[in-house]
Amino acid sequence: MNNLFILLLLPVASAILLAFAKSSSMAKWLALVLSLVQVVLTIPFLCTFVPDASIQFEQSFDWISSLNIRFHVGLDGISLPLVLLTNGLFPLIILSTFTKDYRHSFYALASFMQAGLLLVFTALDAFTFYVGWEAALIPIYFICALWGDGDRIKVNLKFFIYTFFGSLLMLIAILYLGQQTPNKDFEWTSFVALDLSDYAQRWLFWAFFVAFAIKIPVFPFHTWQPDTYTNAPTAGTMLLAGIMLKMGTYGVIRWLIPVIPFGTSAYGSVALVLCIIGIVYASLIAFKQKDTKRLIAYSSIAHVGLITAGIFAWNQEGLQGAIMQMVNHGISVVGIFLVLDLIKSRTGTNRLDELGGLAYKMPVLATLFVILMMGAVGLPLTNGFIGEFLLLKSLYSVGIWYAAFAGLTLIFGAVYMLRLFQKTMLGALDSKYVKVTDASKTEVFVLVILCLFVVLLGVLPNGLLKLSEASVTQLIQSVKF
């Protein structure tokens, strides 16, 4: 039962099925069951995966034969953690919507997006990758614009056009690379084997980098992100921040640096500096935020900035730390957004100055929030610590100042996260919140699972690190700058 094609097909089938669901409660349960089936289907991959450098579970079909395009997917130690993350988070995200009133189309769109995400993480053919890349974008646009609030139409249009333009630049680069290969195909292996001219690599680097940097987002391409995160429905934010931005970082690991080594060595340090500017800049802005969701949106820019910086450092610690941290960030950010959503639904506000003292009324939520927050801040024995430690170590080996500035994220992160906690949970309880209730059973269930992973990955990170070790080593050795 480890057919990758079926794993990719099930979400598409689920989406079609869910589109015809009669009522929204039926769609909820159906979506949950189908996403759990997807989890069950994922387990054999994890069990039978051999942690060496090879690409496993490969599937390759003729897609457009006259253009030499193949539907080619496979898993290695770099993509498997992200597939696990995607499929693992999905049931939790769906479960977190159970208290809400979403129509069946929401679940259909989310399932479709899952298919796109999985395609991106498994694709070994650039055309396949591009299709997945765009297929994930359309549903999230609709989710954010249909169920969002505030200035949702304008904000999401900006988000869509921004990312669409970035992907088109990538499309040109893909077409160019395809033209260079001996068989005019789009296989990842033939892209990596290319011997490109220095001149071509210079512009190819930027074409790919801008596409990925918009998605991640890296400073200064981040301007769509805070508005989109803030106005999106919580489930949409979870999908965006928890999973979708990993498409960008994964793209850098798989498609940018191995394919365009000279371009990376020429401009990699520029990218690195941009990431570090992003870390400091976003953290500083996060201090001043009055809106809880916006605060986490900016903190997310800082976190993924560190991940991307670690990738551009391009050494063993950096890549492994990045993969680890992609998973960690997914877990933490989904948890934190859920907490913020609970607070919003109980109190009716996202504004920090109107909140306070909720820990008295929501002791369970407050406890779980502390654990998630520790993970996000990177306290030892939580998952964030391992990831950030590895990332900073990798930056240190590139240059001490990179590490010094990137290391500020730890301090800044602690400051704004603790401020968030203090302003919401501690202090005097406003009289209008005396009737606030604690998290419901399903919500506690979701949060507990997330917290378990925060601690588990913090205490025993070896399993995850082992998965990616061999693939990362081989990838790093294969790239000759």
Q: Which residues bind another protein (CB under 8 A)?
A: 62-67, 127, 130-131, 134-135, 138, 142, 145-146, 152-153, 157, 160-161, 164-165, 168-169, 171-172, 175-176, 178-179
Nearest distance from C-beta of residue 102 to another protein, angstroms: 15
Please identify, using beta-carbon distances, which residue of 155 and 311 lies nearer to another protein: 155
CA distance 151 to 222: 18
Q: 33 Cβ partners below 8 Å, 6+ apart?
A: none
CA distance 358 to 349: 13
Please identify, using beta-carbon distances, which residue of 130 and 389 lies nearer to another protein: 130
Q: Is the dihedral of CA 296, 231, 29, 345 positive or negative?
A: positive
Please identify, using beta-carbon distances, which residue of 115 and 355 lies nearer to another protein: 115
Nearest distance from C-beta of residue 156 to another protein, angstroms: 9
CA distance 433 to 166: 45
Please provide residue 291's backbone torsions phi and psi, each rounded to the nearest 5 degrees: -105, 130
Nearest distance from C-beta of residue 371 to another protein, angstroms: 38
CA distance 243 to 248: 10
Q: Which helix (H) or strand (E) holds 393?
A: helix 383-398
Tokens of 6: 């079926």
CA distance 248 to 210: 10
CA distance 295 to 289: 5
Nearest distance from C-beta of residue 308 to another protein, angstroms: 24
What is the residue-wise DSSP string for 119-175?
A: HHHHB-BHHHHHHHHHHHHHHHHHHHHHH--SSHHHHHHHHHHHHHHHHHHHHHHHH
Nearest distance from C-beta of residue 291 to another protein, angstroms: 22
Please identify, using beta-carbon distances, which residue of 109 and 358 lies nearer to another protein: 109
3-class DSSP assignment, residue 291: strand
Please identify, using beta-carbon distances, which residue of 136 and 390 lies nearer to another protein: 136
Q: Which of 288, 327, 347 is nearest to 463 (CA)?
A: 327
Tokens of 219: 């400073």
CA distance 140 to 117: 11
Q: Which of 394, 238, 254, 384 is nearest to 324 (CA)?
A: 384
Nearest distance from C-beta of residue 144 to another protein, angstroms: 11
- E strand map for 355-461: none
Nearest distance from C-beta of residue 72 to another protein, angstroms: 15
CA distance 250 to 168: 18
Please identify, using beta-carbon distances, which residue of 74 and 132 lies nearer to another protein: 132
Please identify, using beta-carbon distances, which residue of 5 and 98 lies nearer to another protein: 5
Please identify, using beta-carbon distances, which residue of 156 and 299 lies nearer to another protein: 156
What Rg value do the Cα atoms of the chain yield, rounded?
Answer: 21
Please identify, using beta-carbon distances, which residue of 93 and 143 lies nearer to another protein: 143
If phi over 0 gives left and psi between -120 and 50 gives alpha, with beta otherwise, what is residue 357? left
Nearest distance from C-beta of residue 153 to another protein, angstroms: 5
Please identify, using beta-carbon distances, which residue of 61 and 401 lies nearer to another protein: 61
Please identify, using beta-carbon distances, which residue of 109 and 340 lies nearer to another protein: 109
Nearest distance from C-beta of residue 337 to another protein, angstroms: 23
Please provide residue 108's backbone torsions phi and psi, each rounded to the nearest 5 degrees: -65, -45
Nearest distance from C-beta of residue 275 to another protein, angstroms: 25
CA distance 4 to 6: 5
Nearest distance from C-beta of residue 18 to another protein, angstroms: 14
